[in-house]
Structure 1
Amino acid sequence: MSGYLLEMKGIAKHFGGVAALDGIDLAIRPGECIGLCGENGAGKSTLMKVLSAVYPHGSWDGEILLDGQPLRARSVRETEEAGIIIIHQELMLVPELSVAENIFLGNEITLPGGRLDYPAMNRRAEEILRELKLPDVNVVLPVKNYGGGHQQLIEIGKALNKKARLLILDEPSASLTAAEIEVLLAIVRDLKAKGVACVYISHKLEEVAAVCDTITVIRDGKHIATTPMHDMNVERIIAQMVGREMNQMYPSLPHEVGDVIMEARHISCYDVDQPQRKRVDDVSFKLRRGEILGIAGLVGAGRTELVSALFGAYPGEHEGEVWLEGRKVDTSTPLKAIGEGFAMVPEDRKHHGIVRDLSVGQNITLSVLERFSRLTRVDDGAESVAINEQIKRLALKTASPALPITALSGGNQQKAVLAKMLLTGPKVLILDEPTRGVDVGAKFEIYKLMLELAAQGISIIMVSSELAEVLGVSDRVLVMGEGQLRGEFENKGLTQEMVLAAAIGQTGRQGS
């Protein structure tokens, strides 16, 4: 016996003649956590879909052994019965069902005669949520009543209920707060101690380093290296992922900041469900030409609501004025905002950024389709030229512009949304969490593009939960807390501690 719980040997997977995986090997022991690292499009999620039979046996080449025996699963149900559980990047919860019903979905406890044993399911669901440090969640309420972070932990609870022998976590912390991430890492350590094997996929390499025993790096569908974590550090992981040393996380490109181009005056946003409550409370600020203005703050500070209101995309009641180049402009709808020279890449790419039924190319030209319309038809040639220029400009990895947008990795979907908005030729570009779910190499490319756009005179507003990112690329930083503007700082000698102090309402240094 090899001592391995699972072995994947020579795994190859093709899509339309393009090799997504090219002979990947992976082996994992009971109680071991492997960090699976690679850039967007490297093949991490594809490999895990092979393992969990989202891509069934027969649709790929190679061999999978579980306990030394061939595993030829043709459905996710079969792999789950074998103890292989995957938590996908996109949540698989049913919003209208209760928390307990979601946790037991497909594994319900029944009474004689087939009726569901709700008291037993509710009790077990409460036990699981206590393990996940979520004792305040009412398990009989619909899961839609809870935010993204809670839903992510409920998804993990669903996996724990299935008695996993091998747990695959694909970007599990993307929507979690720092406190929730600590709970998640503690859960993984506890599972390891109980002999459960884990595969941990995350672009947050500090998490990978904190919880993983072994690092496997893949690049362009090929196996690059498998190394014990005690012989690695974050810098070495990055170097293996991108194929080169990255001496700095943030590019340096000088750009000139000019006069004030935009002014937001007295912006207030009211809660959709509780209209008497303000999510943004009388916020005013100015934006200069060619400036990158970072907006920082804790979860719930009102950052997304503020920028959504500027772009006419806030779903609730809001008020205030937006001035551009010395005149008051109407940005009450996204279409009007685009017409005035605004563009926005939203935080929730899946629901607000892409149209899932369209191709990569169709998504890219969606905002400027009239540019290619010729009476009753679309000029396919001109549209194709524009699409290919944007794909090249953003180094977007796609086998063809005709591929469905959903076939791309999360980071490349993000680039497609950015390409779509850049085609509108904006004066003001709003980026809400522009690098969420994006690997370090692609992050560097996005930062570089932001600096290039600023050098061309485009003004950028960037909302980010990563303080290092805000400080790494911004010229000036606004800090929000509980819907109010708590501080405004020139980014000269500014530290994360100073930003956090302002965010929680302590005295901060006020900038110009």
Structure 2
Amino acid sequence: MSEYLLEMRGITKSFSGVMALDGIDLRVRAGECVGLCGENGAGKSTMMKVLSAVYPYGTWGGVITWEGRELQTASIKESEAAGIVIIHQELMLIPQLSVAENIFLGREPRVLGGMIDFDRMFVDAAKLLASLRMGYINVAMPVSNYAGGEQQLIEIAKALSKNAKLLILDEPTSSLTKNETAILLRLVKDLKARGTACVYISHKLEEIVEIADTVTVIRDGKFVGDAPIAELTTSDIIRMMVGREMNNLFPREEHPIGDVVFEAIGITCIDPENSARKRVDNVSFTLRHGEILGIAGLVGAGRTELVSALFGAYRGPHSGEVRLDGKPINVRTPREAVKHGLCMVPEDRKAHGIVPGLGVGYNITLSVLDDFAQGGLINEAHEFSNIGDAIKKLRIKTASPLLPISNLSGGNQQKAVISKMLEPKPRVLILDEPTRGVDVGAKYEIYKLMFSLVREGMSIIMVSSELPEVMGISDRVLVIGEGELRGDFINDDTLTQERILTAAITPLLRAA
């Protein structure tokens, strides 16, 4: 009998004649965590959809062996019955239902007559969570009462309630805090110790190094190789992912910085749910021509609220003044901001950056449709010429400009959103977490693009939760803490991560 719980051999999958998977292999032992790595668009999620029968048997080629027998599942239900459960990047919970109802949704215990046995369901849910060191969660409370990290853990509990032998985690920490991530990684280690196998997909290689036993790398739909994590360095994994050496993850380039082009004066944002609380409190700063201004701070510090107010997208009361070239501009809506030459790539691309069912190309041109209008009609030839140039410039991987953007990988969706915001040719570009959920290769391309843009004279404001990214890319760093501006630092040899973090947690610290 094979030593492997799961073997995928020579897996192929195509869409409209375009090969998404081309002979990929994957092997997983019981109690083993395999880190599945690859750039955005490499085929990781497609491969897991094959395994979990989102793409049923017969729609793909190759062989899957599960517990020594060939697996031919025709539905997700059959796959879960076999013990293979996938947790998608977007949580599949119903906020209004209780924790227990979400865990046993569709599999509720019943009493005679078919009524739901709520007492038993609550007891079973509480026992399950206690076994996962999550006994503090009240199973009778609505899921919406819990933070994103706790909801992710509830999603895992839901999967384990289905007697999962293999758990597939697709970018599970993309929206979690550092503390929430630590709890999730501890849980994965506990599951390994209990014999549950895991396939862990993440762009955060430090997580892969911490919990994976083996790493499998795929690139452009092809199998590159696998090896025990003990035999690999982070540089090895990156080289396998991108097919080239990347000795410098932050390709910092010298570029001229000119005079002040943009000013924010006394920006204040009131919490829309609590009028007594200020999310941003009287923040002022300047931005120079050709400058990359990084904004750092802890989660919840008010960074996103600040840039949303600048872009006219903050949903609560806010005040302050915005100046471009020394002249006040009135920005009440994102549309007005774009007209003034101020564009923004939002933090949450799925909620605020894309129209999921719309084609990739149409998403890109949404910000400049008026440019293609003639007599009330869109000149499609002109529009598609523009789309082709945009896709080529940012190297967006898509089978067709008409393919719904929701079919693209996260990194390619992000490139499309950036492309959309570059179409109006802004003077100032705001990037809120521009590399969140993006692989190392796509990050590198985004950094190179940023430096190309500032060399051409654009000015960039970048919000990032990753301090190495802030320090690797920015010319100057603003630090926000509890809605206040707590630091304004030139990014020179004297600036350290410790200095930034100290400013973030220390009230009223100013640059010397």
In structure 2, how many angstroms separate the alpha carbons of the residues matched to 1:131 and 1:417? 42
**SS of the residue aligned with 1:276?**
strand
Q: Deviations over 1:5-27 (max 9, x none)?
A: 11111110000000000011111
Q: Which residue in 1 is equivalent to 2:503? A: 502
Counterpart of 1:445?
A: 445
TM superposition shift of 1:175:
0.9
Equivalent pair of 2:31/2:191 in contact (CA under 8 Å) = yes
Distance 1:160 1:260, change over 3 A: same
Structure 2 counterpart of 1:140, which letter?
A
Q: Secondary structure at the match of 1:254?
A: coil
Q: What is the identity, as a one-letter code, of the residue corresponding to 2:68?
A: G
Aligned to 2:99: 99
Instruction: After TM superposition, give the deviation of residue 118 of structure 1 in Å.
Output: 2.2
Letter in 2 for 1:343: C
C-alpha RMSD of matched pairs (Å): 1.5
Q: Which AA in structure 1 matches 2:498?
A: E
Asked whether the 8 Å contact 2:85–2:168 carries over to 1, the reply is yes
TM-score, normalization by structure 2: 0.97
Letter in 1 for 2:253: L
Deviates more, 1:261-270 or 1:232-241: 261-270
Distance 1:500 1:383 in 2: 46
- The change in CA–CA distance for 1:122 and 1:158 in structure 2 (over 3 A counts) is same
> What secondary structure sits across from 2:237 in the alignment?
helix
Partner of 1:143: 143
Aligned residue runs from structure 1 range 77-116, under 5 A: 77-116=77-116
Does the alignment pair 1:223 with 2:249?
A: no
Superposition deviation, residue 134 in structure 1 = 5.1
Tell me if the contact between 1:152 and 1:175 (Cα under 8 Å) persists in the aligned partners: no
Relative to structure 2, which stretch is displaced further, 239-248 or 377-386? 377-386
User: Quick check: 1:32–1:196 contact (8 Å CA) kept in 2?
Assistant: yes
User: 1:279: Cα distance to partner?
Assistant: 1.2
Confirm or deny: 8 A CA contact 1:499 1:508 kept in the other structure.
Answer: no
**Cα displacement (A) at 1:125:** 3.3
| 1:61 matches 2:61 | yes
Distance change in 2, residues 1:117/1:340 (3 Å): same
SS at structure 1 position matched to 2:358: coil
Contact 1:132 1:183 in 2 (8 A): no
Partner of 2:471: 471
With 309-318 and 414-423 compared, the bigger mean Cα shift is at 309-318
Give the deviation of 1:238 after TM superposition: 0.1
1:356 is aligned with what amino acid? P
Superposed CA deviations along residues 15-65 of structure 1, whole A, max 9, x for unmatched, are: 000000001111111011101000000000000000000111111111111
Q: CA deviation at 1:432?
A: 0.6
Structure 2 vs 1, CA of residues 138 and 323 (structure 1 numbering), >3 Å: closer, same or farther? farther
Change (3 A) 1:328 1:126: farther
The answer as to whether partners of 1:341 and 1:427 remain within 8 angstroms in 2 is yes
Deviations 1:272-320 (A, max 9, x none): 2222211111111111111111111111111111111110111111111
- The residue number in structure 1 matching 2:117 is 117
Map 1:19-418 to 2 at 5 A: 19-130=19-130, 137-418=137-418
Stretch deviating more after TM superposition (311-320 or 48-57): 311-320
CA displacement at 1:127 relative to structure 2:
4.2
C-alpha displacement of 1:154 = 2.2
What letter is aligned with 1:475?
D
Structure-2 change in CA distance of 1:296 and 1:130 (3 Å)? farther
Give the Å deviation of 1:506.
6.4
Aligned partner of 2:410: which letter? G
* 8 Å CA contact 1:83, 1:163 repeated in 2: yes
Q: Which amino acid aligns with 2:496?
A: T
1:178-219, Cα deviation, whole Å (9 max, x unpaired): 111111111111111111110000000010011001110000
Matched AA of 1:236: D
Q: Which moved more, 1:122-131 or 1:331-340?
A: 122-131
Contact 1:8–1:26 under 8 Å retained in 2: yes
Most deviating of 89-98 and 192-201: 89-98
TM-score by length of 1: 0.97
